[in-house]
Amino acid sequence: MPDAFPLDPTQWIDQDNDGYGDNPNGANADPSPNDTDNDGIPNNEDGWPLDPTKSLDSDGDGIEDSDEVFLMTKIPSTSAGSVMLIALVIGIITGIAGYLVGIRNVNRQGSPSRSTFEQENIVEQELGENEL
């Protein structure tokens, strides 16, 4: 194994590759052995062993706890009343749109109040009256 610190006779190994020597009695000693980013959290407990600004993910969602708190403060809280109002408005808009589409279809197809059978009877009656 090559000497990690060829110019420092007190250090020779850096197992976690953090730039600090593993000899606790040598110069420039690693303050946290087995802590690559030197954030004070050992690599086996650090969710981000190469990032000194992140370490803990207590709920296991892949978002570091301090980032999660920051993100959650940016999401506005929504009350149940607001959600119900939004749902009501969407329902009203959907109802109006359905009504307008129905009116448009009626104008194209004729009166929806009479069935096809009733319309055929009316046509037959009108034809019969004209023949008299």
pLDDT at position 2 over 60: yes
User: Which position has the token pair 């749902």?
Assistant: 87
CB 65 within 8 A of CB 56: yes
Helix, strand counts (H, E) of the chain? 3, 0
The answer to whether 11 and 2 have CB atoms below 8 angstroms apart is no
- On whether residue 113 sits in a domain, the answer given is yes
| Residue pair 35/19 in contact by the 8 Å Cβ criterion | no
Both tokens assigned to 27: 């110069």
Residue 16 domain flag: no
Predicted local distance difference test score (pLDDT) of residue 51: 87
Burial class of residue 18 in the structure, from the number of CB atoms within 10 Å of its CB (0-12 exposed, 13-18 middle, 19+ buried): buried
Residue 118 lies in a domain: yes
Q: Give the model's pLDDT for residue 89.
A: 93
Model pLDDT, residue 110: 59
| pLDDT band at residue 108 under the 50/70/90 scheme | low
Which range, 52-56, 68-72, 91-95, 115-119, is most confident? 91-95
- Domain membership of residue 124 (yes or no) is yes
Residue 12 placed within a domain:
no
Could you read off the pLDDT of 23-64 as tens digits, one per residue?
989 998 888 888 888 888 888 888 888 888 888 888 888 888
Across the range 102-112, mean pLDDT stands at: 65
Residue 100 within any structural domain of the chain: yes
Position 79 scores a pLDDT of 77
Is the pLDDT reported for residue 88 higher than 90? yes
Burial of 57 (0-12, 13-18, 19+ CB in 10 A): middle
Structural domain total, the chain: 1
Query: Is pLDDT larger for residue 13 or for residue 74?
Result: 13
Residue 97: inside a domain, yes or no? yes
For residues 110 and 122, what is the distance between their CA atoms, to the nearest angstrom? 14
Which DSSP symbol is given to 34?
Answer: T
- What range defines the domain where residue 90 resides? 80-131
Confidence of residue 128 (pLDDT cuts 50, 70, 90): low
Q: What share of the chain is helix, strand, coil (3-state, %, to 5)?
A: 40, 0, 55
